[in-house]
Chains A and B, each alone.
Chain A
Amino acid sequence: MSDSQHFLLDGEEVPFTPGQTVMQAALSAGRYIPHLCYHPEFKPHGSCKVCTVKAGGRTAASCTLPAQSGLEVESATEEMNALRRTLVQMLFAEGNHFCPSCEKSGNCVLQALGYDLGVTNAGFRHLFPDRPVDASHPDLLLDFNRCILCELCVRASCEVDGKCVFSLSGRGIDKHLIVNNASGRLEDTDIALDDKAVAVCPVGVILKKRVGFALPIGQRRYDARPISAQALEDAPRPSTQGPCNACEDAP
């Protein structure tokens, strides 16, 4: 039954099974759509909008857009990539992203996406927010400067770890990540090193202490291949039918 269902992605047929989103079907079929807040292990969130595509003449987040037979989706177009580039630029401008001295460099989804989309500058005036690090936990460091509000840690901590250590607070441009307890300090939570919330951070916010630059240049996640290739390697394949093995280490 599923063999007969397809939609068109940039003019080429992509098969899907009922219930899949455009993003899920595309990745399963080996077709990359740039994305940030989407993670194959979590329910689609649709917040970052980097995966925006044009479907039936209207823009929509492909991670939440149900795949439908006959749907015509435009993704790898200059129009869509220009929009994505602007979104990524805004993220760089809103936070304090100093890639040259960031230990996540080479393993960072935001940086890799920036390279892949050809982002060469922030494009907007930097806001330079004042976000001190939370180093209170003996084994973990929180560097809020790099948060992109993807909520993967929020979702992972609640849905997988069952701890709800993190939350977002504030609205609009003032929205920011917080530690979800009275003191607001990580040391007063029951977060653990092997929590999913720690592993899932796609940028350099939640860091294991004293690791730093232990991984040499050349062995980092995006040294060997761009994120567009890496994401396809990580994506669940129809044959695996379950949680993807590569996802455990995937940001």
Chain B
Amino acid sequence: MSADLESAQHPETLRRVAIEPLSRVEGHGKVTLLLDENDHIRQVRLHIVEFRGFEKFIQGRPYWEAPVMVQRLCGICPVSHHLAASKAMDQIVGASQLTPTAEKLRRLMHHGQMLQSHALHFFHLSSPDLLFGFDSDVAKRNIVGVIEAYPEVAKQGVLLRKFGQEVIRLTAGKRVHGTGSVPGGVNKNLSREERDFLLKDIYQIIAWSRDAVQLARRLFEQNRELYNAFGRFEAHGLSLVRADGAMDLYHGGLRARDKGGETLFDHVNYDHYWERILEEVKPWSYMKFPYLRELGPEQGWYRVGPLTRVGLCDFIPTPFADQERRSFLAYDAGRAAGATLGTHWARMIEMLHSAEAIKELLHDNDLSGDALVVSGARQERGVGVIEAPRGTLIHHYRVDEDDVIVRANLIVSTTHNNQAMNEAIRQVARQYLDGRKLTEGLLNHIEVAIRAFDPCLSCATHALGKMPLVVELLDAEGATVDSLIRSVGCGER
């Protein structure tokens, strides 16, 4: 793979190019490239440059506050943090089995989250690259450009996201950063009026989701060689799966397969995840590097998220999505299912699954039940794991006898994919940048690879994306040799 590009031998002799900040990525991230005198790439690193500190400042706070506080990690997938923390706190309050109303309402909330986040990720943040080309005119390579050139696609993307946000509003109280899930259950049910409000649009949402899968497929087909090869790397995979092997984004056991498809472990209870997953610290990044314990830090890094989930599950328990899963896995003798840019296709299949699952849940009368919260024997430790839009999300807390959190460990999707994203951008750098004069379009290839995984580095950072891009080429003494500045909406100069 590309381990040779992680650390150059004599960095002091190399030129440094920094892509900072990353655009159409929520959060502060940057990529640094070190090049030799012949413009050959010698080192590539993805850095998460801000420290959030949630694990520290949640300490000393009452445990029931955690599901609401920690969701502020993110504005794109707060529900995932809300629910992962809630699941951990379920264990703290001894709620081993939620009421049907509580579990189904949480699942509905989560599918609303998946729907809106996947729509945002694909349509708003990634489709400009995919529809116009990675090095197309930067002034048009944004959602406004998509609205002008592909108004129906843009409209559907916006309305898909809106529907997901409405599901969240009616289950959590607000479109962003609600309070619906509490330790041991939920604080409200779904009224018949609320259910009917969502039901009137769900069939259109399913239809648009099916169109979105076809759009992602068409984009892949039209550029098959590019999409297959772009930033491609082999990786182990990790995700939750249901007891029967089905995709389950809310709950399940841990399944890991190695890059050859062999099962490393399956249906593992995540309560002791540290027996399977450890984290390594590297001196050049604030973000840790998780790895599978049995394979060690060098060989044990893995990939999480849509591409992994769609490939790892035995089936998707909704018909349209499962049909698309089988089609995706069979495409081009399975090559798309291992391609970095195949992630977008897999993401749309998951979005379709969430739309179908929302429809099924809305027809379930348990959603309007009155039994909302349960509790049992109080526990000191709680672990909650969920499949967030971008991958497996782990929340782990220890609570003292006074109900105060004394320890927290969060392993977010972005962190799971840390090494995988580094691998992808190193492949891209080697494929497209090596030995060439750098342009904004070429550098955008790096960002395209990151966006395939994650438009949202805010689990580790917190600024909103769409930031201007500044690329500086420095000589060995740090003097600026060349620079590219991209102002939002103003092209480049």
Contact = CB atoms under 8 A, between A and B. Distances in A.
B60 interface: yes
Given A132-B60, A212-B62, A217-B173, A141 B179 contact: no
A100 B183 contact: no
A141 B61 CA distance: 10
A218 interface: yes
B68 interface: yes
In this complex, the member of B67, B172, B402 whose beta carbon has the largest number of chain A beta carbons within 10 angstroms is B402
Given A136-B402, A214-B182, A217-B179, A209 B173 contact: no
Interface in B149-197: 172-174, 177-180, 182-183, 187-188
Given A141-B403, A213-B68, A216-B173, A133 B179 contact: no
A216 B62 contact: no
Contacts of B183: 210, 212
Given A216-B187, A217-B178, A101 B68 contact: yes
- Interface residues of A: mostly helix, strand, loop or mixed? loop
Given A133-B404, A217-B179, A212 B64 contact: yes
Contact of A133 (B60, B64, B69): B60
Nearest to A187: B402
Contacts of A218: 173
A213 B62 CA distance: 12
- Interface residues of B: mostly helix, strand, loop or mixed? loop
B177 A216 contact: no
B121 interface: no
B62 A141 contact: yes
Interface in A176-220: 207, 209-218
Nearest to B178: A217
B61 A133 contact: yes
Interface residues of B, number: 25
A160 B179 CA distance: 34
Interface string A209-240: 11111111110000000000000000000000
A230 to B, nearest CB: 19
B279 interface: no
A98 B67 CA distance: 15
Nearest to A215: B187
A98 B68 CA distance: 11
Nearest to A103: B65
Given A212-B182, A213-B182, A218-B173, A135 B402 contact: yes
A103 B67 CA distance: 11
A234 B187 CA distance: 26
Interface residues of A, number: 20
B118 interface: no
A213 B61 contact: no
B62 A133 contact: yes
Contact of A101 (B65, B180, B182, B402): B65
Contacts, number: 59
Contact of A209 (B62, B180, B187): B62
Nearest to B402: A135
Contacts of A100: 68-69, 72, 177
A153 to B, nearest CB: 19
Contacts of B177: 100
Contact of B69 (A101, A207, A214): A101
Contacts of B174: 217
Nearest to A211: B64
A217 B182 CA distance: 13
A111 to B, nearest CB: 14
A133 B61 CA distance: 8
A138 to B, nearest CB: 8
A71 B453 CA distance: 69
A215 B187 CA distance: 6
A136 B60 CA distance: 12
Interface string B463-485: 00000000000000000000000
B69 A216 contact: no
A215 to B, nearest CB: 7
Interface string B53-71: 0000000111011011100
A193 to B, nearest CB: 15
A209 B182 contact: no
A212 B187 CA distance: 10
Given A135-B403, A136-B402, A216 B188 contact: yes
A185 to B, nearest CB: 10
Contacts of B72: 100-101
A213 B403 contact: no
A212 B403 contact: no
Nearest to A212: B64
Contacts of B179: 213, 216-217
Contacts of B188: 216
Interface in B53-104: 60-62, 64-65, 67-69, 72, 93
B56 to A, nearest CB: 14
B190 to A, nearest CB: 11
In this complex, the member of B65, B172, B404 whose beta carbon has the largest number of chain A beta carbons within 10 angstroms is B65
Contact of A216 (B64, B67, B180): B180
A136 B401 CA distance: 9
A209 B65 CA distance: 11
A132 B179 CA distance: 24
Contact of B64 (A210, A215, A217): A210
Contacts of B69: 98, 100-101
Interface in B337-358: none
Contacts of A133: 60-62, 404
Contacts of A132: 60
A223 to B, nearest CB: 9
Interface in A107-146: 132-133, 135-136, 141
A210 B404 CA distance: 11
11 contacts: A100-B68, A100-B72, A133-B62, A133-B404, A209-B62, A212-B65, A213-B67, A213-B68, A213-B187, A216-B180, A217-B172
Interface of B: 60-62, 64-65, 67-69, 72, 93, 172-174, 177-180, 182-183, 187-188, 373, 402-404
Report the 4 A-B pairs with minimum CB-CB distance, sorted nearest first: A217-B173, A212-B64, A101-B69, A135-B402
Given A214-B187, A217-B178, 8 more contacts: A100-B177, A133-B404, A212-B62, A212-B64, A212-B68, A212-B182, A213-B67, A217-B174
